[in-house]
Amino acid sequence: MRGSFLSLPATLAILLLSTLTIAYRPLQFVKHTGQSGRADQAFSMVNYFNETTQQSDLYVHMWMFRYKSSNKGWASLGLGPRMKGALMFIIYGDPNSEDKGMTLTVRTVDGHHPPRPTDEMKEFYSGDVPEVEVVTAHFEDYTGDWYSEQMQAKPSHLGIADFIVRGYDRWGAAELGVSNETTKQAMIWSSNFRQDFEGDFSVDRAIDMHQFGLGFGFLWVDLLNARSDVAFFGAINELNDHTGISETAEPKPPTEDELKKGDEIIAAQIGGGSTSEVDNGTGEGDSKEAVPEDSGDKAADESTPPATDATPDSDTTTPGADDGSKVEEPVKSVKQWNIRSMMWHLHGFFMTIPFVVGYPLAVYLLRSPRTSAAGTAFNYHWTVNSLSSISVSIGALIGFVNSRSISITHQYIGILIVCALTVQLVLGWRHHVVFVATGGRKTWMSTVHVILGRVVFPVGIINVVSGLMLRHYGWPVISLCIALAVVEVVVLTLVVGQARKRRPGAMQKGPTAPTADEAEEYFQLGGDDDDEFSDDDDDETGRLNAEERVKKEAERDEQRKKLAKLDRV
Ligand SMILES: *[C@@H]1O[C@H](CO)[C@@H](O)[C@H](O)[C@H]1NC(C)=O
Ligand SMILES: *[C@@H]1O[C@H](CO)[C@@H](O)[C@H](O)[C@H]1NC(C)=O
Ligand SMILES: *[C@@H]1O[C@H](CO)[C@@H](O)[C@H](O)[C@H]1NC(C)=O
């Protein structure tokens, strides 16, 4: 045994330390442009098992170096071997902004295209999503010692994000999984230096692709040896290389030297409790981290990271943490107002009105006793339907322009609905032309039109609901929408049933049912849009007859359908 060669006090010290803490190797990733990659970013990680919650938390301290005060581009890292299914942490912002705020957004993606916030990706992954607590995300002036040969300059700013990924190994979408006990957790990083955010640094901002060529890479990360019994954000020394991380294979086991450094850091965490000690350990570059330049609020926030006695919880409730964490908090935050988001709401408006109001109203108008008696039923039916379809077209156009990719069910269903509505339009119109030309012959087109209508409506409502959910409308709005749809279905079923019963006698009753005023009003609303109608049928009676024939048609359809159903039974 190794201990037998050591003096008794030394053995005791080692024993004491190993019972107090588990072996900890500081873990850091540092990559500057030119170091086999195009990146200017770094991170450290501490793997902490919280006994209270019985889950593993990842304490991530992430840096993004900015040169010449550039406000362009982003930096990211992700848990997982490739973009698809990775839990990605992306930072961006403007170091010249007044509050020096930086955005941290938590995203994933279902393929190799730009990732989206996890709550927008529920169709792809609906499992456990670790909570991400952003302790701080902001820019500071760079005061360290790194000098970039490529840029012939030191960085001007440092973007700093401290965040805790609570229960990070619950994330289930990553291939190869995420484990709290692995020595080779697959991860990815990537960078972009070009994207101009045009002032919109919101958490759901669209981001461009990473740089071509060397702007991304793979990592194997030793999380097992990065575990610590105390929770803290590890320091980064940007003058050093990776530790506990390899870009090509499983990282080598920790060396004595690395573990010794780790022990010192942990000892400082447990012993000192002094806030200035907390974030250092690996070298000279750290001092600026512990004593940020800019201002009182942030300094207070930065210099009290969660040590043994200061819990992250208490940190985030300090007022100083507000500008860092409140705005960037990925899931629950109040969305910043931006054009894209407004366009989505508009898309929803143009889509919801037709399905919740327009189309049901059009069916009602076709079958309601008043309009059918006044002979305006068809007129209203197609006018309202056309207006609704124009609205859907505008909504679809907005949706199409605003979408970056076609990848979620909502979009696929939406496209199907638009196709079905086009078919509806053509069928309705063709049927009508044939109907009028042949003096009221029934066509297969009307049958299909009716059936397709009954299919498209509920599917449309489902997509309206899924859209409301995607935009995070609350349950009151969603329930209201569903309730309205249910009421409409019930009312329409009744109205259609009534119309069916009424129809045999409708011809005689027709002229007396509505008051003349009402009929007049309807005609005015209908305007002169029935040109098409009167092309073949110049006089009013002819049209009325045509109307009656439409109804008879429908009635016969219904009966045939009923019979068909009976046959099947
Ligand atoms: C562990 O989890 C509990 C419950 O969420 C929390 O109050 C506490 O701050 C956590 N401890 C640390 C060190 O993060
Ligand atoms: C990993 O998590 C499990 C529970 O999910 C826990 O029992 C185990 O101790 C954790 N391991 C480490 C190294 O934290
Ligand atoms: C932390 O930094 C202080 C001063 O910056 C230094 O005296 C101390 O040795 C450092 N601690 C470790 C563990 O490196």
- Phi, psi at residue 91, to the nearest 5°? -120, 145
Residue with tokens 């030191």: 154
The verdict on residue 230 lying in a domain is yes
3-state helix, strand, coil split of the chain in percent (to 5) is 50, 15, 35
Q: Which ligand is in closest contact with the Cα of 49?
A: 2
Residues 254 and 378 reside in one and the same domain: no
In this structure, of 255-264, 438-447, 518-527, the range with the lowest mean pLDDT score is 518-527
- Nearest CA residue ID for atom 13, ligand 2: 181
Here the tokens at position 561 are 């359908």
231 lines ligand 1 (CB under 6 A): yes
CB of 180 shorter than 6 A to ligand 2: yes
CB of 312 shorter than 6 A to ligand 1: yes
**At 276, is the pLDDT very low, low, confident or very high (cuts 50, 70, 90)?**
very low
The verdict on residue 521 lying in a domain is: no
DSSP classification of residue 308: S
Ligand nearest to the CA of 234: 3
Could you tell me the pTM of the whole model?
A: 0.51
Range 535-549 burial, b when 16+ CB lie within 10 A, else e: eebeeeeebbbbbbb
Which of the four pLDDT bands, split at 50, 70 and 90, describes residue 143? very high
Report the pLDDT value the prediction gives residue 341, as an integer from 0 to 100. Answer: 74
pLDDT band at 18; cut points 50, 70, 90: low
DSSP class of residue 147 equals: -
Q: Is residue 539 part of a domain?
A: no
Residue-range definition of the domain harbouring residue 353? 339-501
- What backbone phi and psi angles, to 5 degrees, belong to 365? -65, -35
Does 399 fall in a domain? yes
- The minimum-distance atom of ligand 3 relative to the CA of 267 is 13
The CB-based long-range contact list for 444-451 (8 Å cut-off, 24+ gap) reads: 446/550, 446/553, 446/554, 446/557, 447/557, 447/561, 449/424, 450/554, 450/557
Same domain, yes or no: 257 and 378: no
Among 241, 266, 291, residue at a domain's last position: 266
Give yes or no for a contact between 506 and 373, defined as CB atoms under 8 angstroms apart: yes
**In this structure, are 46 and 175 located in the same domain?**
yes
Q: What tens digit of pLDDT does each residue of 81-101 get?
A: 988 999 999 999 999 998 899
Residues 348 and 253 in one domain: no
Q: What is the mean pLDDT of residues 505-509?
A: 41
- Residue 335 phi/psi, 5-degree rounding, is -65, 140
Q: Are residues 260 and 349 in the same domain?
A: no
Domain assignment present for residue 350? The answer is: yes
pLDDT of 512: 38
Nearest CA to ligand 1 atom 7: 313
Are 36 and 181 contained in the same domain?
yes
Identify which of 160, 183, 173, 168 has the alpha carbon closest to the alpha carbon of residue 65: 160
pLDDT value, residue 267: 84
Say yes or no: 261 and 365 in one domain: no
- Kindly identify the ligand whose nearest atom is closest to the C-alpha of 181: 2
Say what the pLDDT of residue 335 is.
40
pLDDT surpassing 90 at residue 502: no
Answer yes or no: is the C-beta of 266 below 6 A from any ligand 3 atom.
no
- Model pLDDT, residue 19: 52
Confidence class of residue 37 from pLDDT cuts 50, 70 and 90? confident
Element (H, E) at 559: helix 540-568
Q: How confident is the model at residue 344 (pLDDT cuts 50, 70, 90)?
A: confident
pLDDT value of position 381: 87
pLDDT value of residue 133: 95
Counting from 1 in the atom list of ligand 1, the atom nearest the Cα of 51 is: 1
CATH number at residue 108: 2.60.40.1210
**pLDDT score at 353:** 93
344 and 261 in a common domain: no
The residue count for the chain: 569
Shared domain check, 108 and 225: yes
Q: Which residues of 364-401 are buried (b: 16+ CB within 10 A; e: fewer)?
A: bbbbbbebbbbbbbbbbbbbbbbebbebbeebbebbee
Ligand 3 nearest-atom number relative to CA 277: 1
132 and 224, same domain (yes or no): yes
Distance between Cα 418 and ligand 2 center (Å): 50
**36 and 163 share a domain?**
yes
Note the pLDDT of residue 92: 95
Distance CA 495, CA 300 (A): 68
Q: Domain for residue 273, yes or no?
A: no
Least reliable range by pLDDT among 317-321, 374-378, 499-503:
317-321
pLDDT score of 550 more than 50: yes
User: Among residues 266, 286, 316, which one ends one of the domains?
Assistant: 266
**Position 345 in a domain:** yes
Decide: 287 in ligand 3 pocket, CB within 6 A. yes
Cβ-count burial 525-534 (b if 16+ within 10 Å, e if not) = ebeeebeebe
Output the pLDDT for position 555.
66
Residue pLDDT, tens place only, 217-231: 899 999 999 999 899
- At 469-479, the pLDDT tens digits run 877 777 888 89
- Cβ atoms of 424 and 452 within 8 Å: the answer is yes
Q: Is the CB of 181 under 6 A from ligand 2?
A: yes
* Most confident segment among 133-147, 363-377, 535-549: 133-147
Strand partners, 134: 163
Calculate the alpha carbon distances from 213 to 39, 71, 92, 296 in Å. 11, 22, 21, 41
pLDDT band (50, 70, 90) for residue 286:
very low
Highest mean pLDDT pick, 17-21, 129-133, 196-200 = 129-133
Q: What confidence tier does 282 reach under pLDDT thresholds 50, 70, 90?
A: very low
470-to-338, 355, 371, 395, 422 alpha-carbon distances in Å:
16, 18, 38, 16, 25
Compute the average pLDDT of residues 348-368. Answer: 90
Maximum average pLDDT range among 31-40, 42-51, 471-480, 496-505: 42-51
SS3 391: helix
Nearest-atom index, ligand 3, CA of 282: 14
Question: β-strand 185-192 against 216-221: which pairing, if any?
Answer: antiparallel
Given a cut of 70, is residue 559 above it in pLDDT? no
Ligand 1 centroid to residue 55 C-alpha, Å: 10
Question: How high is the pLDDT of residue 549?
Answer: 65
Cβ of residue 52 lying under 6 Å from some atom of ligand 1: yes
Q: How far is the CA of 182 from the centre of ligand 2 (A)?
A: 10
- Do 260 and 397 sit in the same domain of this protein? no
Residue reference for tokens 């990070």:
168
> What are the backbone angles phi and psi of residue 88, rounded to the nearest 5°?
-105, 140
DSSP category for residue 167:
T
Q: What percent of the chain is predicted at pLDDT more than 90?
A: 40
Give the chain's domain count: 2
Q: Is residue 489 domain-resident?
A: yes
Rounded distance between C-alpha atoms, residue 489 and residue 412, angstroms? 24
Instruction: Quote the CA–CA distance of 432 and 446 in Å, as a whole number.
Output: 8
* Residue 377's CATH number: 1.20.120.1770
165-219 pLDDT, tens digit per residue, is 999 999 999 988 999 999 999 999 999 988 888 888 999 888 887 766 678 889 9
Q: What ligand is nearest to the CA atom of residue 55?
A: 2
DSSP-based three-state secondary structure for 146 = coil
Task: From 266, 294, 325, give the residue that closes a domain.
Answer: 266
